[in-house]
């Protein structure tokens, strides 16, 4: 099923306008290219509305946020919403500062994202509005609960794609659990950012089923991570894993996808 969603991405080659942090922008762009999408990174308020209106999806990533990026995201978000384009919000480190929390609140209200993709602490911080997290990947939360994600989905009207030891996607009612993945993803900066960018591509190519598209993006990423981990050689670590992760996306066919899942 997920393999069909990927196939749609490869066929459509959606242009994904990605307003993102400078730490992982390169990986996001190469992952999108590997998936068959066409990234455009642009974050100046002078141009984001024009670009977002023409692109097939918009991804808003709060990493290395600035006042200028915030304004650019707001303009892009409104333009994309007006044009009926899917929008992904990645609230990177939203619990780390009031600045990010307020920006996330503004974007939730004004751009009304189709999907929110974050880890458990980010999803919780979005819901509670609490800041004070010490990092961007805090992981000291109970694993299995989907309640916070469901509440946020109901509150915002967005699909919530929450990643962690177990990834879940929920529209507030249904909760899909995405199997598989790799612990090595925690050792790669931007694993979450890449998934958010990929989700933008999946939404563009599968516009009628945002919940399933988000889950399919996560499963596709999980399969790539499993393949990458299996291909790691002795002495290789997180940097090689990152390379092999993007490589795996590049050569992932529906056949490989289905076969991988059947064998898993």
What is the C-alpha to C-alpha distance for residues 64 and 82, in angstroms, rounded to an integer? 26
Indicate which single residue of 128, 155, 177, 251 sits in contact with its own copies (rule: CB under 8 A): 251
Closest CB 175 distance from its own copies, rounded Å: 29
Torsion of CA 46, 47, 49, 54, to 10 degrees: 170
Backbone φ and ψ for 156, nearest 5 degrees, come out as -105, -20
Query: Binding of its own copies at residue 21 (CB under 8 A)?
Result: yes
Closest CB 38 distance from its own copies, rounded Å: 4
Query: Binding of its own copies at residue 44 (CB under 8 A)?
Result: yes
* Cα-to-chain-centroid distance, residue 15: 15
Query: Which residue, among 70, 57, 56, 54, has the nearest Cα to 21 in the 3D structure?
Result: 70
Indicate which single residue of 65, 87, 107, 195 sits in contact with its own copies (rule: CB under 8 A): 65
Binding mask 212-231 for its own copies (x = CB under 8 A): ---------------x---x
Closest CB 159 distance from its own copies, rounded Å: 25
Pick 26 or 128: Cβ nearer its own copies: 26
Query: Binding of its own copies at residue 64 (CB under 8 A)?
Result: yes
Query: Binding of its own copies at residue 67 (CB under 8 A)?
Result: yes
SS3 3: helix
Query: Binding of its own copies at residue 96 (CB under 8 A)?
Result: yes
With beta carbons less than 8 A apart as the criterion, state whether 193 and 61 touch: yes
Query: Binding of its own copies at residue 182 (CB under 8 A)?
Result: no
Binding residues for its own copies restricted to 102-161, rule: CB under 8 A: 131-137
Query: Binding of its own copies at residue 23 (CB under 8 A)?
Result: yes
Pick 175 or 232: Cβ nearer its own copies: 232
What is the C-alpha to C-alpha distance for residues 118 and 97, in angstroms, rounded to an integer? 16
Indicate which single residue of 3, 6, 9, 43 sits in contact with its own copies (rule: CB under 8 A): 43
SS3 117: strand
* Sign of torsion over alpha carbons 42, 216, 157, 193: negative
Indicate which single residue of 6, 9, 34, 81 sits in contact with its own copies (rule: CB under 8 A): 34
Closest CB 12 distance from its own copies, rounded Å: 12
Indicate which single residue of 10, 12, 38, 175 sits in contact with its own copies (rule: CB under 8 A): 38
Give the Cα-Cα-Cα angle 131, 133, 138 (nearest 5 degrees): 140
Indicate which single residue of 1, 4, 11, 47 sits in contact with its own copies (rule: CB under 8 A): 47
Considering just the CA atoms, what is the radius of gyration of the chain in Å?
A: 17
Structure tokens at 31: 């992952």
CA distances (Å), origin 243, targets 11, 217, 236, 246, 259: 24, 19, 11, 5, 22
Where does this chain bind its own copies (CB under 8 A)? 15, 21-27, 29-30, 33-34, 38-44, 46-47, 50-51, 54-55, 63-68, 93, 96-100, 131-137, 186-190, 227, 231, 235-240, 242-251
């Amino acid at each position: 099923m997920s393999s069909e969603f990927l196939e749609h991405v490869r066929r459509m080659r959606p242009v994904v306008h990605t307003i993102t942090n400078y730490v992982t922008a390169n990986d996001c762009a190469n992952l999108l290219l590997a998936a068959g999408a066409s990234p455009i990174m642009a974050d100046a308020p002078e141009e984001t509305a024009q670009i977002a209106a023409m692109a097939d999806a918009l991804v808003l990533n709060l990493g290395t946020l600035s006042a200028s990026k915030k304004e650019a995201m707001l303009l892009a978000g409104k333009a994309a919403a007006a044009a009926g384009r899917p929008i992904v919000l990645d609230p990177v480190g939203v619990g780390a500062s009031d600045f990010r929390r307020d920006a996330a609140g503004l974007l939730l209200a004004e751009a009304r994202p189709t999907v929110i993709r974050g880890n458990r602490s980010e999803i919780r911080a979005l819901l509670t509005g609490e800041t004070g997290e010490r990092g961007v990947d805090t992981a000291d939360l109970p694993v299995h609960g989907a309640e916070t994600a469901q509440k946020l989905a109901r509150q915002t009207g967005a699909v919530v794609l929450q990643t962690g030891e177990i990834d879940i996607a929920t529209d507030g009612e249904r909760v899909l659990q995405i199997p598989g993945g790799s612990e090595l993803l925690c050792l790669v900066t931007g694993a979450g950012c890449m998934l958010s960018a990929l989700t933008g591509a999946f939404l563009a190519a599968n516009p009628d089923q945002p919940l399933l598209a988000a889950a399919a993006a996560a499963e596709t990423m999980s399969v790539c991570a499993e393949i990458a981990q299996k291909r790691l050689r002795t002495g290789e670590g997180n940097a090689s894993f990152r390379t092999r992760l993007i490589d795996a996306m590049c050569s992932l066919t529906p056949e490989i996808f289905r076969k991988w899942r059947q064998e898993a």
